[in-house]
Amino acid sequence: MLHIVNKSPSQTRTLDSCLRLAQAGHALLLIEDGVYAATTRSPASAALREAATRLKVYALQSDLDARGMTGALLDGVTTIDYAGFVDLVAEHPTNQSWL
């Protein structure tokens, strides 16, 4: 399953809910303001580091760039472009967008 989070962990508890329900082997894609969670200064950084031990964690590169966060990316998070986004959706027929 692919989980897609687009809200900042400073805005909502969406990421917490996602991480609580995501199972080992699932993938997590952070897009839009969700990419803030993938940075070293995020209040969610510890939870995301732990999640990266059981999930594949991705962040959309263009959203990181737009927010000036590329240099602060957590270890264990893989950046992808829009083609990679499409590949993830194709690879995971079941996906959940966390609003």
pLDDT of residue 75: 92
Q: CA 81, CA 83: separation in Å to the nearest integer?
A: 5
Q: CA 58, CA 56: separation in Å to the nearest integer?
A: 7
- Where does residue 58 rank: exposed (0-12), middle (13-18), buried (19+ CB within 10 A)? buried
Residue 83: partners with Cβ closer than 8 Å, 6 or more residues away? none
- Whether 99 shows a pLDDT value over 90: the answer reads no
- Whether 30 shows a pLDDT value over 90: the answer reads yes
pLDDT of residue 86: 97
pTM of the model: 0.95
pLDDT of residue 17: 96
DSSP string, the chain: -EEEE-S-TTT-SHHHHHHHH--TT-EEEE-GGGGGGGBTT-TTHHHHHHHTTTSEEEEEHHHHHHTT-GGGBPTTEEEE-HHHHHHHHHH-SSEEEE-
- Tens-digit pLDDT profile for residues 4-24: 999 999 999 999 999 999 999
- Whether 38 shows a pLDDT value over 90: the answer reads yes
Domains in the chain, start-ordered, CATH in brackets? 2-98 (3.40.1260.10)
pLDDT range class, residue 29, cuts 50, 70, 90: very high
- Tens-digit pLDDT profile for residues 45-76: 999 999 999 999 999 999 999 999 988 999 99
